Amino acid sequence: EIVMTQSPATLSVSPGERATLSCRASQSVTSDLAWYQQKPGQPPRLLIFGASTRATGVPARFSGSGSGTEFTLTISSLQSEDLAVYYCQQYNHWQITFGGGTKVEIK
């Protein structure tokens, strides 16, 4: 099983500031990495696939980067509606795995 580790567990950011979230894989997943946003009481929403491609309708302030084992999700200018938990997921191996999540709080 490929283990996905996200850091930090919680991130407090002021509105308008940059938020940087990390995801590490226990072995290479090439670029087969997705990011999801989950707001309280809602199902997850796909943000990024292929490590860096935004899904349809996702604002340009969300960007993804990385390959292999190290990945980053950046929110360039945090908005109040970005309060959520963010999960990474690898799909390189048929046994898909999710990271433990990073909770983004508004400072």
Partner 1 sequence: EVQLVQSGPEVKRPGESLKISCKGSGYSFSDYWIVWVRQRPGKGLEWMGNIYPGDFDIKYSPSYQGQVSVSADRSISTAFLQWTSLKASDSGIYFCARQFCRDYTCYFLFDSWGQGTPVTVSA
Contacts with partner 1 by CB under 8 A lie at 1, 32, 34, 36, 38, 43-46, 49, 55, 85, 87, 89, 91, 94-101
Least CB distance to partner 1 at residue 33 (A): 9
Q: Is the dihedral of CA 84, 90, 94, 95 positive or negative?
A: negative
**Could you give the count of Cα atoms lying within 13 Å of 59 in the half-sphere of its Cβ?**
11
Distance CA 57, CA 92 (A): 24
Nearer to partner 1, 69 or 89 (CB): 89
Nearer to partner 1, 16 or 95 (CB): 95
> Could you say which DSSP state residue 83 is in?
-
Least CB distance to partner 1 at residue 13 (A): 20
